[in-house]
Chain A
Amino acid sequence: MSERPEKKKHVMEDAEEIKQILGAVSTEVPGLIKSIIASVFSEEAGKSMGKAAAAFYKELKDSGMPDTVAVKMTEDYISVFTSLGDVLKKAGGHGGKLRLDVSKGKPEVESEKEMEGGTPAQELEKEIERRVRQRLAERRREDEEDED
């Protein structure tokens, strides 16, 4: 019988907690997104990026570069700023999908490339693991030789 008020109290606490979390999220998240967007897509940001690209182009032209080459190089220069998708893909482990394995209780990375034999990140991981094992084996051998 004493379980019911306890349960009720627990529900109340949960509701209050969710209310507080949602209150914080609803005020903080839009502000954060707005500032991120403003740092890339605002008149000021466009102007400063344009200034940088224009200065680059002008320098190339002043140093006697043909017009087409200068334009091409400026385009490449701009693509450094604008290749956000590539940056995010790389940051996210080459487009790996995050899957939560409930049975293990930890997230696992799964990607389409993984099925084909491993992404460069995985290859790097394997290579590092292989070298560490090799080094450990060498050290163990050295220790054994010292003991002998």
Chain B
Amino acid sequence: MGRSLLIVSVISAAVNVTRLLSSLLIIYLTLGWKVRKAKKAFEKELIKQGMPKEDAKRMSARYAALKDEALNTLKRSIRTFS
């Protein structure tokens, strides 16, 4: 009885870890797409107000670079804790 309960606990813990990792993977994979959409919306608003296209593109690139910065910070913090 005790052993079967332990096995159930271990299996459900493994399922939870798998679920967590797959959710994080999905978030990571969809991040690029979300950033692209946000960047386009950002650029569109700037161009709408009369900013030259090149300048708007340069600024939106800076906005998109925020993703790399955030990921680098995350990697650095993971490296620090490990």
Contact = CB atoms under 8 A, between A and B. Distances in A.
A30 B48 contact: no
A39 B18 CA distance: 26
A78 B63 contact: yes
B38 A46 contact: yes
A67 B50 CA distance: 10
Interface residues of A, number: 51
Contacts of B62: 75, 78-79, 82
Interface residues of B, number: 48
A123 interface: no
Interface in B4-51: 5-6, 9-10, 12-13, 16-17, 19-20, 23-24, 27, 31, 34-35, 37-46, 48-51
B14 to A, nearest CB: 9
A24 B58 CA distance: 42
A23 B12 contact: yes
Interface of B: 2, 5-6, 9-10, 12-13, 16-17, 19-20, 23-24, 27, 31, 34-35, 37-46, 48-52, 55, 58-59, 62-63, 65-67, 69-70, 72-73, 76-77, 80-81
20 contacts: A12-B2, A12-B6, A19-B12, A19-B16, A22-B13, A22-B16, A22-B17, A29-B20, A30-B23, A34-B27, A37-B27, A38-B34, A41-B31, A46-B40, A50-B45, A61-B50, A75-B55, A75-B62, A81-B63, A92-B77
